[in-house]
């Protein structure tokens, strides 16, 4: 089955800096790559997703890039704010398979 | 719309006891899922359902059973709880397999 690895496990940045979280996946047939944000004690919520026919997608301060050849995708957050502090999960789903999540990245944005 | 709801929010069980977690969604989604979340391990799929009356095993199904008698409800059962099942359980639903999953608020289960 699909295996997703996520790095780093923790990330601390200064407010206003950029943050980058990277994920690799094992199944080259995977075609949907969502990113979820989970604030402390809350449920995971989708913040952005990308499909395999697109190389990059942007939504205001967040962007996701996908490199199908290398089988990795990344989340980019620019101009970070304290409210960006949370755990971020990447995921991948192959056709006919189950969604597999990365282990998560705890992002801390210091004011 | 309430979205995805779960009951109960918290529960403490003794080893060997049984319980059922209830998930309900009002978005008319076909797909429903049960995950467990443990520190440092992300979300792991326990069981899922692709429609009323169907269930399928996920990544970590042992020790759990599920039922989907109605489209809007997905039940997760623990027949004989073990300390290894101490976790936070999330239910989710989606329109299709490759679409956004909407999560419930979670159930924190402790097995002593």
Q: What is the mean pLDDT of residues A86-93?
A: 97
Q: In whole angstroms, how far apart are CA A31 and each of A34, A99, B34, B61, B97?
A: 10, 11, 22, 25, 11
The reply to whether residue A99 touches residue B45, judged by beta carbons under 8 angstroms, is yes
Q: Which residue, among B7, B1, B2, has the nearest Cα to B75 in the 3D structure? A: B7
Percentage above 70 pLDDT, chain A: 100
pLDDT band at A26 (very low <50, low <70, confident <90, very high): very high
* Tokens found for residue A36: 């979820």
The reply to whether residue A89 touches residue B100, judged by beta carbons under 8 angstroms, is no
Query: How many CB contacts within 8 angstroms connect chain A with chain B?
Result: 45
* Residue pair B66/B56 in contact by the 8 Å Cβ criterion: no
pLDDT at B61: 97
Q: What is the largest CA-CA distance in chain B?
A: 38
pLDDT band at B48 (very low <50, low <70, confident <90, very high): very high
Pure H helices in chain A: none
pLDDT band at A35 (very low <50, low <70, confident <90, very high): very high
Query: Which among A32, A45, A89 is the nearest to B42, CB-wise?
Result: A89
């Amino acid at each position: 089955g699909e295996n997703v690895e996520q790095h780093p496990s923790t990330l601390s940045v200064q407010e206003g800096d950029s943050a980058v979280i990277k994920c690799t996946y094992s199944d080259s047939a995977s075609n949907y790559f969502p990113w979820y944000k989970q604030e402390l004690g809350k449920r995971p919520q989708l913040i952005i997703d990308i499909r395999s026919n697109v190389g990059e997608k942007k939504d205001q301060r967040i962007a996701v890039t996908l490199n199908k050849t290398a089988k990795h995708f990344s989340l980019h957050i620019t101009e970070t704010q304290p409210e960006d502090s949370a755990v971020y999960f990447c995921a991948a789903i192959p056709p006919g398979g189950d969604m597999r999540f990365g282990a998560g990245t705890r992002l801390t944005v210091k004011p | 719309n309430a979205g995805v709801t779960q009951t109960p929010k918290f529960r403490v069980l003794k080893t060997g006891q049984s319980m059922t977690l209830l998930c309900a969604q009002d978005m008319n989604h076909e797909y429903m899922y049960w995950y467990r979340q443990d520190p440092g391990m992300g979300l792991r799929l326990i069981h899922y359902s692709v429609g009323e009356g169907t269930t399928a095993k996920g990544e970590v199904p042992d020790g759990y059973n599920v039922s989907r008698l109605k489209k809007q409800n997905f039940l997760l059962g623990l027949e004989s709880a073990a300390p290894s099942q101490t976790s936070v359980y999330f239910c989710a639903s989606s329109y299709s397999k490759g679409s956004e999953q909407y999560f419930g608020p979670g159930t924190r289960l402790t097995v002593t």
